[in-house]
A and B are shown apart, each in its own frame.
Chain A
Amino acid sequence: MNREQQKHRIALVRRGLVAGSLAGSLGIAGYLGTAAHATDASTGTDAGTTSGTTSGSTTDSTSTFGDQYGDSSPLDQSQLSAGSGTPDATTRGS
């Protein structure tokens, strides 16, 4: 696996595509990133425990937000709007 493939795999995991796509078959391990074998959602390759284990390679450089977490920009003001009514939750520092 070359560096670009590693970065792609890390980005997929960051976006939850690997663990999230395998919910039915992996049980809790899939959500904890501890499944012995998982399949990369986009490539069909074995991702396994690489959800946490290839990331050491990120320590040798500084990445951008998009590289790390995928594209968050499509959200616009038609989707994120002022709210009303009874709140479901409150965000605060903790």
Chain B
Amino acid sequence: MSTTAAWDLWSTTARLVVTVDDVLDDALALCHEVLGEVDRAANRFDPGSELSGLSGDGEPQPVSPLLADLVAEALGAASVTGGAVDPTVGATLVDLGYDRDITLVRSSDDRMVARVRQVRGWETVHLAGTTLTMPAGVLLDLGATAKASAADRCARAVAATFGTGVLVDLGGDIATAGRAPGWQVRVQDLPDDVPQQITLPTGWAISTSSTRRRTWTTDGEQRHHLVDPRTSRPVVDTWAAVTVVARTCLAANTASTGAAVMARRGADWLHRTGLPARTLDHDGHVAAYGAWPSQPDRPERAA
């Protein structure tokens, strides 16, 4: 048996599932506390967040231990993906029109784009202790990693504090912890996609990156939030969605986002990670990687 709470978070839906029913309210409160701290540190859409207050002036500046942690995770994701998951895409995203919460961006669709700043590159950012140095003009976007990391942090906190099996789902970034027989997770990016359901062992995580959900229109052109740092434009000719299973949601999201940004060359990279993964083409074809379970009764290509 399990019990569930759901709430709106960061323009998506969050869910908390626990196997010990009577801890749900307290576990939910703990999740809100963890998520609130992450939000205050790293929400680039909140002008009052610590991230929004950073100066990109080339001078060393002190940051909180939590923001340092989140920046370190973002730099680690950049390193392991060869720069595909780059936290310095912030200014480029702003210029492309993604400068507010996605629901607000969509409400003012089809603005004009005057210029698009080039992605400066993650290697221009230096973190030493809790001292951060960024060159002029750099705006960090930690969205690719901070949400996944927040799911990990919530799951660990709830399991250890309340001794329960727990699943934390932050808009499709799913982390699990504690004792549970396994979790039933549906993989379905859009409602019209053919779903696949898997049993995720407890202690593992799963994440999906998509080019079809966080979209908006500027200059009459549909954009999405996965920017190719090499072109400073939304990545093209890539999968509709990439799903990865890993030990942590941070690792799973790094791999799914990295592969999606690498586009077709991401297939070899996914293989090399050894992670179970699934790619979905725009025509509905699915490919499986590593230990990803086969999906019966649907066309499937060997990856």
A-side residues, CB < 8 A to B, are 10, 14-16, 19-20, 23-24, 28, 30-34, 49, 51-56, 58-65, 67-70, 72-73, 75-77, 79-94
Chain B 159-175 per-residue mask, 1 if CB under 8 angstroms from chain A, else 0: 11100000101111110
Contact indicator B79/A61 (Cβ below 8 Å): yes
Contact indicator B294/A73 (Cβ below 8 Å): no
Q: List 10 A-B contacts (CB under 8 A).
A: A52-B130, A53-B68, A55-B75, A56-B129, A76-B291, A80-B276, A82-B294, A90-B172, A91-B169, A93-B210
Interface check B298, CB cutoff 8 A: no
Contact indicator B123/A91 (Cβ below 8 Å): no
**Best-buried of A20, A64, A65, A87 by chain B (most CB within 10 Å):** A65
Chain B 227-267 per-residue mask, 1 if CB under 8 angstroms from chain A, else 0: 00000000000000101011110110011000000000000
Contact indicator B208/A86 (Cβ below 8 Å): no
**Complex contacts, A54 vs chain B, CB 8 Å:** 72, 129
Given contact pairs A15-B247, A59-B127, A93-B214, A33 touches B65 in the complex (Cβ within 8 A):
yes
Contact indicator A75/B156 (Cβ below 8 Å): no
Interface check B188, CB cutoff 8 A: yes
Contact indicator B255/A65 (Cβ below 8 Å): yes
Stretch in B29-37, B45-53, B93-101, B105-113 touching the partner? B29-37
**Complex contacts, B66 vs chain A, CB 8 Å:** 32-34, 52
Complex Cα spacing A91 to B169, Å: 8
**Complex contacts, A65 vs chain B, CB 8 Å:** 80, 251, 255, 272-275
Interface check B2, CB cutoff 8 A: yes
Contact indicator A86/B65 (Cβ below 8 Å): no
Residues from 173 to 216 in B contacting A, C-beta threshold 8 Å: 173-174, 177, 183-190, 195-201, 204, 206-214
Contact indicator B75/A53 (Cβ below 8 Å): no
Contact indicator B167/A82 (Cβ below 8 Å): no
Contact indicator B156/A31 (Cβ below 8 Å): yes
**Complex contacts, A67 vs chain B, CB 8 Å:** 80
Complex Cα spacing A73 to B186, Å: 22
CB-nearest residue of chain B to A60:
B123
CB distance from A16 to the nearest CB of B (A): 6
Contact indicator A19/B156 (Cβ below 8 Å): yes
Given contact pairs A20-B156, A92-B210, A83 touches B188 in the complex (Cβ within 8 A):
no
Complex Cα spacing A41 to B221, Å: 50
**Complex contacts, A90 vs chain B, CB 8 Å:** 169, 172, 185-188, 195
**Complex contacts, B290 vs chain A, CB 8 Å:** 73, 75
CB-nearest residue of chain B to A86:
B184
Given A75-B245, A93-B241; 13 other pairs, CB 8 A cutoff: A15-B247, A56-B75, A56-B127, A56-B129, A61-B79, A64-B80, A76-B291, A83-B185, A87-B184, A89-B184, A90-B188, A90-B195, A92-B171
